[in-house]
Chain A
Amino acid sequence: MKYFKFIIFIFVLSTVISCGGDNDICDNGEGTPRMKITFKRDNKISVVDSIKVSADLGTGIIDLGWKLKVDSVFVPLRVDDSPFTDIYVQTTTEEDPTKVRVSYTTKSIYVSPGCGVKRNYENVNSVLSAPNSLKSVEQGQNFIENEDKTNLFFNF
């Protein structure tokens, strides 16, 4: 049958083309950047034995878990319209967590169909509510566009 090749051709073509789905996968690294916090002791970057950081992302407090022997952590900030994010820090289980309020202005930047929009943060400013083993905070780079530079130093 002379039309047979056309039928096969059409079926093969439709199979190939209709398999292409939506391009809605967001690769890591293109989303909203996290804030980098580096630890200092006696004004020198140093590791802490243990630290637990949690962040209140508006929908609930996200526990980032205990980190052992690290000199820095990455903390996500809120992506909604809130002008600040509260993060909670403790270094031992006996210690009560202390609160650091990170305030900023946000800027929305379109990334791609899959990733949608990401937030960049500007005029980042952090305030420690009550010192515990964390004695003070010190501002690093005051805008967050990527995760390269330290935005905040914790002085222990």
Chain B
Amino acid sequence: MKTKLIYSLIFSVFGLLIFSAQEKEEVEKPKWKYEPNFIVGFDVLNAGASFFSDRQIFQGFISSRVKDNLHGIIEAGFDKNVYQNNGYDAKANGPFLKIGAFYMLARDPENDFNGFYGGGKIGGSFYTQEYMAIPIRGFGGNSSSVSMPSSSQSSFWLEGNIGGRVQLFESNFYIDVSMQPRYLMVTSKQDDVVPMIVPGFGRSSNKFNMGFAWNIAYKF
């Protein structure tokens, strides 16, 4: 987690430097006209981190400018995760989908797709979980565990979306860095046991969670 944070920070600052170098004087913004546009991105930070951690997460997004500074976004991915901590031994894997919108808070006058944005998404995940061990805590560290068989569950959450998008030189490629504070709204429970991990959401013993993504995106 810490490595991820540091990576995000470095890349964010790096991106900002490139971006601020491109900053020019404000120009009168022309009237917006509709034109179909799509940006397709793939999260390289988490995909790369998958090689070094127990969590394997592959996700991407498609976003499109709807009107002025308003963009719609659909994210999808697959997450395979384990939780081995504090007496628990659990695994969960499954696909997830997020739909939302974001607003360009500050954008480059020369390129409408460059800028900082904030928005929100609704996420859902349908996954398979298996709890090999749930701790039974006894006296003086004396403990035991119970297990639950594999089962299908689903969870839904709200997700904030704060980040920035920067064009890579003059190409159609963009770097999109974002932070996603998440709040788990509802989740199905197996035998009333609160899930410790939810694919696409992360650790879920706490309803709040934080996600980071560092995407390479291509604009069509």
Contact = CB atoms under 8 A, between A and B. Distances in A.
Given A13-B181, A17-B208, A62-B139, A22 B5 contact: no
B8 to A, nearest CB: 8
Given A3-B16, A59-B142, A110-B191, A116 B137 contact: yes
B106 interface: yes
Contact of B116 (A3, A13, A17, A26): A3
Interface residues of B, number: 40
A20 B136 contact: no
Contact of B134 (A13, A14, A79, A117): A117
Interface stretch (B33-41, B80-88, B151-159): B80-88
Contacts of A108: 136, 146
A117 B193 CA distance: 9
B106 A117 contact: no
Contact of B135 (A3, A18, A116): A116
A30 B105 CA distance: 47
Interface in B159-181: 162, 164, 179, 181
Interface string B107-135: 00000000010000000000000000011
Interface of B: 1, 5, 12, 16, 19-20, 23, 85-88, 105-106, 116, 134-140, 142-146, 162, 164, 179, 181, 191-194, 196, 203, 205-206, 208, 210
Q: Which 10 A-B pairs have the closest CB atoms?
A: A76-B139, A79-B138, A116-B135, A113-B205, A80-B144, A23-B206, A79-B136, A79-B144, A57-B142, A24-B86
Interface of A: 1-3, 6-7, 10, 13-14, 17-18, 20-24, 26, 31-32, 34, 55, 57-59, 62, 76, 78-81, 108, 110, 112-119
